[in-house]
Amino acid sequence: MLASSLMIFAFLLQSSYVAAQPHRSLNKGSSLSVEEPNDILVSSNGVFKAGFRGVGDNAYCFAIWFTQSSDSTIAWMANRDQPVNGRGSILSLLKDGNLVLRDVGSIDTWATNTNSVSLVELVLLDSGNLVLRALESGLILWESFKFPTDTLLPYQQITRYTKLVSYRSQGNYSSGRYTFYYDNDNILRLLHDGPETSSLYWPSPTFCWPEGRYKFNSSRIAFLDSSGYFLSSDQFAFSAADFGVGVKRRLTLDFDGNLRLYSLQEKEGKWLVSWQAMNQPCKIHGFCGPNSICVHGFQRRYCSCLPAFEMKNNHDWSAGCRPKFNTSFNVNESVFVQLRNVDFYGYDYGQPMPQSLEVCKGRCLQLNTTCKAIMYRNGSCYLKIFLFNGFLSRNFQGSTYLVLPKNGHQLYSKAILVKPTRLNCSGSTNDVKSLERIYLQKHENHFLAYLLWFVIAIGVIEMFGISIGCWFLYKAELGRQTRHDHQGYLFVLAGFRKFTYKELHKATTGFSNEIGRGSGGTVYKGVLLDGRVAAIKRLNDTNKNDEGEFLAEVSTIGRINHMNLIEMWGFCAEKKHRLLVYEHMECGSLAENLSSNVLDWEQRFEIALGTAKGLAYLHEECLEWVLHCDVKPENILLDSNYKPKVADFGLSKLLERGSLSNISSFSTIRGTRGYMAPEWIFNLPITSKVDVYSYGIVVLELITGKSPTTFYVVNTDVGSSDGLVPWVREKINASSSKTNNDHDIASAIEEIMDPRVDAQLCMAKMEVLVKVALQCVQEDKDERPSMSKVVEMLTHHENKRNVVVNEVQLHS
Ligand SMILES: *[C@@H]1O[C@H](CO)[C@@H](O)[C@H](O)[C@H]1NC(C)=O
Ligand SMILES: *[C@@H]1O[C@H](CO)[C@@H](O)[C@H](O)[C@H]1NC(C)=O
Ligand SMILES: *[C@@H]1O[C@H](CO)[C@@H](O)[C@H](O)[C@H]1NC(C)=O
Ligand SMILES: *[C@@H]1O[C@H](CO)[C@@H](O)[C@H](O)[C@H]1NC(C)=O
Ligand SMILES: *[C@@H]1O[C@H](CO)[C@@H](O)[C@H](O)[C@H]1NC(C)=O
Ligand SMILES: *[C@@H]1O[C@H](CO)[C@@H](O)[C@H](O)[C@H]1NC(C)=O
Ligand SMILES: *[C@@H]1O[C@H](CO)[C@@H](O)[C@H](O)[C@H]1NC(C)=O
C-alpha cells in the first residue's frame, strides 16, 4: 500500500518534473497544448522560444518569440488571422508528417500540409527558424523562414514568394495594410493597401526611376546578414547603425507602415532602432485616412481632420474623417477654403492645367460635388476627386482649396486648419473591445457543449513591444509624464547612449580642460572610457523637471546624421546635471581659424559649401523642423582636413514648423549680435531664413576676414558708421553700376577680400560666393534663398566648371 502510494507520488513528481521542462523537439504523434504553459519549444542557444501566445481575451496564436526581449517580442506567427481558443487547442505533429494547429472541436485552423513516412521532428533552430525535418536525412520538409509574418530575422530571405505584412494596429496582430515585397519590376517596395486606396510609397513614388535601384536582376532575393548588412538583388542596401556581429536584430514592418531594423540591447531587453526606411513618416500613405492630413511634429506625426470634417473612429486615424455637412449641397452655394502648404497625393481628375485660380475654381464647380478640392501650385490647377494621403509640409509651395457649402461657413472659415489632434490613447484601454465569443452548442448532443470557434476582436494589450507607432504619437507626453525607462525606444542610433555623471566627470578629469563656451554652456575636452576624444558640453540653466523634454530633444539630435553636422554620441541627465557628449574636432572652430588665418581660399569655399550642406540638411531633409538660430563661426567646427561641421544645432528649441497655427514665435531671442536676422529685431515670424541670414554673414566674414561684430566703416562725411553688410554691398554695387565690366567686379571683390590671404584664388568661385552671401543677407526674408538653393548655387558653379574642363579636354 505504502509502496504503491510512494510509486504514485514518485510518478507524479516525475511527470510534473517532465512537464516543467520546455521541449527541444516535437516528434510524430506528440503535441503542444495551449493550456500547458511549459509546452514550449526552445532553441538550443535559448534565444528563441515557440509556443502558444495570448493575443487577446481567450485568443491564442502559435508563435516564435525572442526570450531576451523584455516583452517577448514575436518574430513569427502561424495563425495570425485566425487565433484559437484558450482551452483544448493543440499543435500536433501527426503520424503522417503533417503539422496541424487544432482548435477545440478538432477544427484545423492551420497546417503545414506536409507528409512523410519516415521519422520527422519539429525543432526550433538557433536562427529562430522553426523547421520540420526528417530525422535521418535531415531533409527539411517545412520551415517558418519561408512564411514570414511581419519580421525578417538574419539570413531569412525575402524572395519573389515571400513578403512581410504588418500587424493591423497596436495590439491587433492580424494582417495589416502594409506590405514589403518584390514588385513585378524586381524592385523591393513598400505598399499601402487600404480599404479605399492602394499605393506604393517606398521608394519615393515621385521619382519615375527609384534612385539607386536596379530593375534588371530578376533573382529577387534579399536578406540581412549577421553583421547588420542588408542587401537586395535590386542593389538596395543598408547597414545597421551598430554594424557588427553579435547583436540580435530583426527587420520588422511595423503597423505604422515603417520598415525598421531593431537591435536588441540585451541588458535591458529593449530594442533600439538602428535603421528605418522612412524618415518622414507623413510620406507613409494611409496612416491618416481619407479627408485628413498628416503633420510632422517634433518626433512624431499627427493627423488632423480637414475643417468641417470629424474623426470617423476615435481610436483609429486610418479610418480618416467624415464630413460634418450634408454632402449633397448646391455647389453654386459653396466656398473655397484655402489650406496653405497642404497637398494630397494622387486622385487627380484629368490632367493638371496651367490656369488662373479663378478658372480652376470654375472647372471644379462644373464637376458638381465630384470635385472635392483643387490643389493650386505655381499657376497649375489640379482637381481632386478624393482627399487621400494629405500632408502639410512647409516645403510644399502650394495650397489646397476645399469646396465646402456656404452655410456653416462661419464655422470653418476661421478654423483655417484646426490644431493637430492627438489620438486619445489614455482612454483607449477603457474601450477595449472584448472578444466576441460564439459558443455554438450542439443541440443534439447534451453532454458536450463544444466551444467551436471564435471571431476575434483583439483589444489593446500590454504588448509594449510593438507600441513604436503609438510612441510616435505620444512620445512627448510619455517623456514628460513618465520616468525614462522608455529610452530604448527613443530613436537613437546605436552608439548613442546615456552616460553617468561620474563617467563624464572622470572623462574630463573633473571638468578641468575647458575648450569653449557656447550658448547655454561650457565645453570641456574629455577622453571616454573607450578612448574616444569627446567634446563635453555642460549646460548651465538646468531644470530638474525638464528631463522628459531634454531626452526628447537629445534623441532627435542624436538621430541627425550628416557629414557636415557634428555628431552627438550621448548625453547625461542626472539630477540637475545636463551634459551633451559630442565628437571632438581637431582643428577647433572656424572663429579660431579665421583669426589665426590659416585657411586659404579653396578651404574657405569648401567651408562655405559644407556649412550650407549641413544647414540644408537640418532645414529640409532630416526632420523638417530644426532651425539652428545661432549660426556663427564659433559654431562651425573643423576636422583635421578642415572640413566643416556645424555644431550646437537643435538646442535652442525645436521649432514645430508643422504646427498649424501661425509659426510660433520663440519666447526668447536666440542668436549672436552681428549675425542675427532683422526678423528677431522687428519681431517677425521666425523661419529657416534666419539661419540663411546668419550664414550669409558668416560667408561675408570668410571672404573679408572682418568680423561683423567689430567691423565698422565710419563715414566721415555724414558722421555715421556702417556695418559689414552695407560696406560689401556698396563696393559691389558701385562696381557693377559703373559698367557691366567683369574687370570692375573682380577688382571690387579684390578690394573686399581678406588681405591676409595671399594664396591663389579662382575669381569665378569668389564671385559666386559674394553673390550668394549678398542674397542671403537680404533684409526681406523672402528674397533670401533657401539653404538647399545655396548649396545648388555653389555646387552648380563647380559643375559648370567641370563641364567646361571636360569639353576642353575633348576638343584638344
Ligand atoms: C542578381 O542579384 C544576386 C543577389 O544579389 C547576385 O548574386 C547576382 O550576381 C545578381 N545578378 C546580376 C546579373 O546582377
Ligand atoms: C441633404 O440635402 C438634400 C438636398 O438638399 C436633402 O434631400 C437631404 O435630405 C439632406 N440630407 C440630410 C442628412 O440632411
Ligand atoms: C449635383 O449633385 C447633386 C447631388 O449629387 C444633385 O442633386 C444635383 O442635381 C447635381 N446638380 C447638377 C447640376 O448636376
Ligand atoms: C448653378 O448655376 C449655374 C449657372 O449659374 C446653373 O446652370 C446650374 O444649374 C446651377 N446649379 C444648381 C445645382 O443650382
Ligand atoms: C513655375 O512655373 C514656371 C512656368 O510654368 C516655371 O518656369 C517655374 O520653374 C515653376 N516654378 C517652380 C518652383 O516649379
Ligand atoms: C481621453 O479619454 C478619457 C477617457 O475616455 C477622457 O476622460 C479624457 O477626457 C480624454 N482626453 C481627451 C484629451 O480627449
Ligand atoms: C483586428 O483587425 C481585424 C482585421 O482588420 C479586424 O477584423 C478586427 O476587428 C480587429 N480587432 C480589433 C479589436 O479592432
Q: Which residue's alpha carbon is at the smallest distance from atom 14 of ligand 1?
A: 217
Query: Which residues on adjacent β-strands are paired with residue 311?
Result: 321
* pLDDT-based confidence at residue 273 (cuts at 50, 70, 90): confident
Output the CA 367–ligand 3 centroid distance in Å: 9
Given this model, what pLDDT does residue 325 score?
85
Q: How far is the centre of ligand 5, averaged over its atoms, from the C-alpha of 380 (Å)?
A: 9
d(CA 329, CA 336) in angstroms, rounded, equals: 14
Please, which residues have CB within 8 angstroms of residue 737's CB and are 6 or more apart in sequence? Answer: none
Q: Which residue has the cell 525598421?
A: 260
For residue 376, give the ligand nearest its CA. 5
Ligand 7 atom closest to residue 172's alpha carbon, by position in its atom list: 1
pLDDT at 153: 97
Q: Pick from 722, 703, 725: which is nearest to 713 by CA? A: 722
What is the edge-to-edge ordering of all strands in the sheet holding 301-305?
301-305, 292-296, 390-392, 342-344
For the CA of 425, the nearest atom of ligand 6: 1
For the segment 165-189, the average pLDDT, to the nearest whole number, is 92
Looking at the CA of residue 331, tell me the nearest atom of ligand 3.
1
Of 440-454, 589-603, 692-706, 717-731, minimum mean pLDDT range: 440-454
Q: Over 90: is that where the pLDDT of 178 sits?
A: yes
Distance in Å, CA 382 to ligand 2 centroid: 28
What pLDDT is attached to residue 743?
A: 63
For the chain, how far is it from start to end, CA to CA, in angstroms?
A: 112
Which of 378, 381, 788, 792 has most ligand 5 atoms within 8 Å of CB, for mutation? Answer: 378
Buried b (16+ CB within 10 A) or exposed e, 235-272: ebebbbbbbeeebbbbbbbbbbbbbbbbbbbeeebbbb
Q: Give every CB contact of residue 123 below 8 A, 6+ residues apart in sequence.
A: 24, 25, 26, 41, 130, 131, 133
**3-state DSSP of 297-348:** CCCCEEEEECCCEEECCCCCHHHCEEECCCCCCCHHHEEEEEEECEEECCCE
Residue 630 annotated in active site: yes
Higher pLDDT, 529 or 666: 529
Mean pLDDT, residues 398-423 taken together: 63
Hey, how many other C-beta atoms are within 10 angstroms of the C-beta on 275? 22
Ligand 2 pocket, CB under 6 A: 326, 328
Ligand nearest to the CA of 167: 7
More confident residue, 106 or 527: 527
Q: Counting Cβ atoms within 10 Å, is residue 333 exposed (0-12), middle (13-18) or buried (19+)? A: exposed
User: Which residue would you say has higher pLDDT here, 246 or 478?
Assistant: 246
Per-residue pLDDT, averaged over 9-30, amounts to 66
DSSP, res 156: P
3-state secondary structure labels for all residues of 517-549: EECCEEEEEEECCCCCEEEEEEECCCCHHHHHH
Q: Output the pLDDT for position 176.
A: 93
What is the rounded average pLDDT of the residues 94-102? Answer: 93
* Helix (H) or strand (E) segment spanning residue 642: none
58: left (phi over 0), alpha (psi -120 to 50) or beta: left
Residue bearing the CA closest to ligand 4, atom 9 = 332
For residue 554, give every residue at least 6 positions away whose Cβ sits within 8 Å of its Cβ, in sequence order, or none.
568, 571, 580
pLDDT (average), residues 382-398: 84
Q: Is the pLDDT of residue 222 over 80?
A: yes
The predicted structure's pLDDT at residue 5: 54
Calpha distance 600→587 (Å, rounded): 15
**E strands present in 594-737:** 636-638, 644-646, 713-715, 720-722
**Max avg pLDDT among 145-154, 507-516, 773-782:** 145-154
Where residue 455 falls among pLDDT bands split at 50, 70, 90?
very low
Q: What is the mean pLDDT of residues 637-650?
A: 86
The residue-averaged pLDDT of 203-215 equals 74
The predicted model gives 750-759 an average pLDDT of: 79
Model pLDDT for residues 122-157, shown as the tens digit of each residue: 999 999 999 999 998 989 999 999 999 999 999 999
Mean pLDDT of 55-78: 93
Q: Is 309 in contact with 322 (CB distance < 8 Å)?
A: yes
Least confident of 176-185, 558-567, 654-663, 751-760: 654-663
Report pLDDT for 179.
96
Helix spans in 644-786 (H): 678-682, 689-704, 724-738, 742-752, 763-776
Q: What pLDDT score was predicted for residue 155?
A: 96
Ligand at shortest distance from the CA of 380? 5
pLDDT at residue 622 tops 60: no
What was the pLDDT predicted at 664?
Answer: 38
Arithmetic mean of pLDDT, 399-405: 89
Distance of CA 24 to the CA centre of its chain: 40
Which pLDDT score, from 0 to 100, does residue 710 have?
A: 79
Residue of 254, 630, 648, 691 with catalytic role:
630
The binding site for ATP consists of 537
CB atoms within 10 A of CB 662: 7
Length of the chain: 812
Ligand 7, pocket residues at CB < 6 Å: 168, 172, 174, 433, 457-459
Cα separation of 41 and 636, whole Å? Answer: 56
Q: Tell me which of 80-84, 261-265, 624-628 is least confident.
A: 624-628
Indicate the burial class of 211 (C-beta count within 10 angstroms; 0-12, 13-18, 19 or more).
Answer: exposed
Closest C-alpha to ligand 5, atom 6: 378
In the chain, the domains with their CATH numbers are: 21-147 (2.90.10.10), 154-279 (2.90.10.10), 290-426 (3.50.4.10), 589-812 (1.10.510.10)
Protein residue with its CA nearest to atom 2 in ligand 4: 332
Ligand 3 center from residue 368 Cα (angstroms): 6
Of ligand 4's listed atoms, the one at least distance from the Cα of 368 is: 13
In the prediction, which pLDDT does 477 show? 31
Specify whether the CB–CB gap between 165 and 193 falls below 8 A: no
Please give the pLDDT value at position 435.
24
For residue 655, pLDDT beyond 90: no
pLDDT at 274: 83
Q: Evaluate whether 277 touches 258 at the Cβ level (below 8 Å).
A: yes
CA-based diameter of the chain, in Å?
125
For residue range 464-478, what is the model confidence (pLDDT) as tens digits? 222 232 233 233 333
Those residues with Cβ within 8 angstroms of residue 437's Cβ, 6 or more apart along the chain or in another chain: 58, 451, 454
Nearest to 710 by CA among 621, 591, 603: 591
Interval 711-728: pLDDT, tens: 776 655 544 557 888 888
The pLDDT tens digits for 224-236 are 999 999 999 999 9
More confident residue, 50 or 23: 50
Residue nearest to atom 5 of ligand 7 (CA): 168
Q: CB atoms < 10 A from the CB of 602, how many?
A: 14
SS3 category, 100: strand
Whole-number Cα distances in Å, 609 to 199, 590, 604, 606, 755: 37, 14, 9, 5, 22
Instruction: Decide: 317 and 311 in contact? Cβ < 8 Å.
Output: yes
Closest-CA residue, ligand 6 atom 3, reads 427
Which phi and psi angles does 737 have, rounded to 5°? -80, -30
Give the percent of the chain with pLDDT over 70.
Answer: 75
Q: What's the CA-to-centroid distance between 324 and ligand 2, angstroms? A: 13
Q: Answer yes or no: are the C-beta atoms of 337 and 307 closer than 8 Å.
A: yes
Q: Is the CB of 424 under 6 A from ligand 6?
A: yes
Whether residue 493 is predicted with pLDDT greater than 70 in this model: the reply is: no
Average pLDDT over residues 82-96: 92
> For the segment 551-563, what is each residue's pLDDT rounded down to a tens digit?
666 766 776 777 8
> What pLDDT was estimated at residue 208?
58
Mean pLDDT of the chain: 77
- Whether 572 contacts 497, CB under 8 Å: no
Q: What is the pLDDT of residue 297?
A: 56
Contact 124, 139 (CB under 8 A): no
User: Ligand 3: distance of its center to the CA of 330 in Å?
Assistant: 7
d(CA 696, CA 707): 12
Q: How far is CA 573 from CA 67, 502, 544, 616, in A?
A: 30, 11, 9, 30
Residue positions forming the annotated binding site: 537
DSSP secondary-structure letter at 567?
A: P
For ligand 1, say whether the CB of 217 is within 6 Å of any of its atoms.
yes
Q: Tell me, what's the pLDDT at 713? A: 67
Name the least confident of 285-294, 311-320, 518-527, 802-811. 802-811
pLDDT tier, 3 (very low <50, low <70, confident <90, very high otherwise) = low
Q: For residue 48, is pLDDT > 90?
A: yes
Residues of the chain with pLDDT > 90: what percent? 31
